[in-house]
Structure 1
Amino acid sequence: MNDTAPQQHQQKKILLVTAHPEPRSLNASLAAFAAEHLRTAGHEVQVSDLYAMKWKATVDADDFPDEAGDRRLEVMAASERATLAGRLSADVAAEQEKVRWSDAVILQFPMWWFSMPAILKGWVDRVFTAGFGYGPALPPPYTGSALEGRRALVSVTAGARESSFSDRGIHGRLADVLHPVQHGLFWFTGMAPLEPFVMYNANALPEERFEAAKREYGRRLDGLFTDEPVPFRSLTGGDYDHDMRLLPGVETPGTSGLDLHIRPHN
């Protein structure tokens, strides 16, 4: 046996963040399936069920207990001071510890108005503070940044049909719709995003389709640490100028839009 071979079945730690108000929903079922599947495979799983936790979605002065009440709240500066001093509100600090603990983060949510539910956006807003997910005290974004070494997976349900989220679909390409999460959250903070797992036509799902979807989701979960992530370009890899603009000519001819920020296949 080659001792240098990758340990694909090594126990890992996964944080599963789920956002749906109904505990009998499709999203809740997918979250429960993922947690059981990963645990059966020998991994450790923590679940943050944001609705069950009654998560506060808004950033405000209560997140930074040491800030003077008469001082103008500058969120980035206040969050960095509180983060670096270990003085964030207890709920935010607890979620940051879960992210630090994890080897992978899975976000499970329904697509509402072409984005994540407000409660999950509020989890991102409050947890990924300056000094934790970004900021001058950390490596530059879009590279080996604050949370490097972690995998990230979006599992999303959408009521629309798959064809409507295609290159000529009326909703736009799903990769573009999810770009703020895949690139703007995961890759910005150094996590390696995988291709999302998506369930379309989610409002009327027969049991046989759900069973087939679980099998496919199980395969994606099995590849959480072995599948190739989306090959986004690094900010420090020589492809961008000082103003963070992609240099001319580094893309494959004909590439446009958000695809410019994906490395071409060799």
Structure 2
Amino acid sequence: MPRTLIVLAHPEKQSFNSSWAQASAQASQTEGHEVMWSDLYALNFDPSEKADHYASARKDGYSDVLKAQEDAADTNSLPEDVAQEIAKIRAADRIIFHFPIWWFAPPAILKGWCDRVFAQGALHTIDQRFDNGMCEGKTVLFCATTGANSAESAFNGKEGDVRMLLWPLAYTLRYLGFDVLEPRVLHGIHGYHEGANEVALKARLRSELEGHAQTNSQFESLPKIVFNADTEFDAEGSLLPDAPSHSHFIRQKS
């Protein structure tokens, strides 16, 4: 049976993000998927990576996070909360992330989840990353909300291009070998709407929830974010002169 992991990073159970995550779960179940959950706030997940998580992290008075993770992965002694999350990722065929954009980035708890769960030796190694990543064949979709409107969140918008704000998280997952779909982003989601604007917002969100099953059913054909292949970089890791540029983050010299 195929499996979908829902990762929710929003503290309010009655938020649209939470309802949207429930819609993803219901749609996935309808398609015959087993659904797993990582509701990070409900789990009270500790987002801070630190030596205290590892019994033998400090050597000669110094803690090296990657080596501590690798040692723990090699000895099956990763922290239990991390081990449980890694097991879900390994079992999942798809991961659907639901979160708001706060201060031009996903919530800190989601970044901390990546810091701790994407452990060296468990989900990546020096030889198993990018095109040869351990999560090759798995697919990710971001379902994100912004408080800013669509114009403000566009490439020329005052709030910055939301696709670029999401690129670091997308590339983190690309590092592990995931295929990353173009994000689904809804704009102007906040609690300050009044009168007709509030009525219109509620109608728009209701429509999104009602239509989400159709979006989910098209999962396999949704467009993917294009990244440079490993073969498009030289031995030092620089983009080859004749390689295409797909992002302002990795580009040819202007």
Provide the TM-score with structure 1 as the length reference.
Answer: 0.85
- Identical aligned residues as a percent: 31
On the 8 A contact 2:146/2:187 being kept in 1, the answer is yes
Displacement after TM superposition at 1:218 (Å): 2.7
Q: Between Structure 1 and Structure 2, which shows a larger proportion of helix residues?
A: 2
Residues of 2 paired with 1:22 and 1:70: CA distance? 43
Q: How many residues align?
A: 244
Q: In the alignment, which of 173, 177, 194 is matched to residue 161 of structure 2?
A: 173
Q: In the alignment, which of 146, 149, 152 is matched to residue 158 of structure 1?
A: 146
On the 8 A contact 1:110/1:158 being kept in 2, the answer is yes
On the 8 A contact 1:151/1:224 being kept in 2, the answer is no
Indicate the residue corresponding to 1:148 in structure 2.
Answer: 136
On the 8 A contact 2:150/2:187 being kept in 1, the answer is yes
Displacement after TM superposition at 1:224 (Å): 2.2
Paired AA for residue 217 in structure 1: H
Indicate the residue corresponding to 2:57 in structure 1.
Answer: 67
Q: In the alignment, which of 210, 233, 241 is matched to residue 228 of structure 2?
A: 233
CA-to-aligned-CA distance 1:136-156 (integer Å, 9 cap, x gap): 2x42x3212121110001111
Indicate the residue corresponding to 2:42 in structure 1.
Answer: 52
CA RMSD of aligned residues (A): 2.0
Provide the TM-score with structure 2 as the length reference.
Answer: 0.89
* Residue 95 (str. 1) matches residue 110 (str. 2): no
**Closer/same/farther in 2, CA of residues 68 and 95 from structure 1, 3 Å limit:** same
**Closer/same/farther in 2, CA of residues 240 and 70 from structure 1, 3 Å limit:** closer
Q: In the alignment, which of 88, 97, 105 is matched to residue 95 of structure 2?
A: 105
Indicate the residue corresponding to 1:243 in structure 2.
Answer: 236
Displacement after TM superposition at 1:215 (Å): 4.2
On the 8 A contact 1:13/1:45 being kept in 2, the answer is yes
On the 8 A contact 2:228/2:244 being kept in 1, the answer is no
On the 8 A contact 2:96/2:142 being kept in 1, the answer is yes
Q: In the alignment, which of 161, 170, 175 is matched to residue 188 of structure 1?
A: 175
On the 8 A contact 2:100/2:144 being kept in 1, the answer is yes
CA-to-aligned-CA distance 1:200-229 (integer Å, 9 cap, x gap): 011146321012222453333212233242
Indicate the residue corresponding to 1:201 in structure 2.
Answer: 188
Moved more, 118-127 or 206-215: 206-215
Please list every run of 5 or more consecutive structure 2 residues that lacks an aligned counterpart in the other structure. Answer: none
CA-to-aligned-CA distance 1:5-27 (integer Å, 9 cap, x gap): xxxxxx42011110111111111
